[in-house]
Structure 1
Amino acid sequence: MAELEAKFPGQVEVELIEGDRGAFEVALDGDLIYSKLQTGRFPRYAEVPALITERM
């Protein structure tokens, strides 16, 4: 979370929501951009920041 806030200061709101089933999902402006439930894996290093940059 801190890495995302540092990379995108004032541009993204980062919120950690406890879940179940091993979920790790990332949404940007309400759109799902990464889902561990769909991919079956945690994101690779810098994958989430790249997805955010791609959509900004």
Structure 2
Amino acid sequence: MDDTNFRFDITEIRLLPKSRGIFEVYVDDQLIYSKQELNRFPEKKEIPDLIRKLISL
């Protein structure tokens, strides 16, 4: 499964600037990834995998 599979499931992706190096990913107001909590940036396919997992629920 490649990332183009999301084109029918996701209508908008928005980048919101934050301070202090905060990097968080939300899907429908649900936090799915937080750099601040994990103290690291996500791996290359980590965010798409988290989105896939959420969509398949």
Which residue identity does 1:30 align to in structure 2?
A: D
The percent identity for this pair of structures is 40
Per the alignment, residue 37 of structure 2 pairs with 38
- Give structure 1 stretches of 5+ with no counterpart: none
What is the aligned length? 52
1:1-56 correspondence to structure 2 within 5 Å: 6-12=4-10, 13-56=12-55
Q: CA deviation at 1:10?
A: 3.5
- The two structures have a TM-score, normalised by structure 2, of 0.81
Q: CA deviation at 1:11?
A: 1.8
- Give structure 2 stretches of 5+ with no counterpart: none
- The two structures have a TM-score, normalised by structure 1, of 0.83
Which residue identity does 1:50 align to in structure 2?
A: D
Alpha-carbon RMSD across the aligned residues, in angstroms, is 1.3
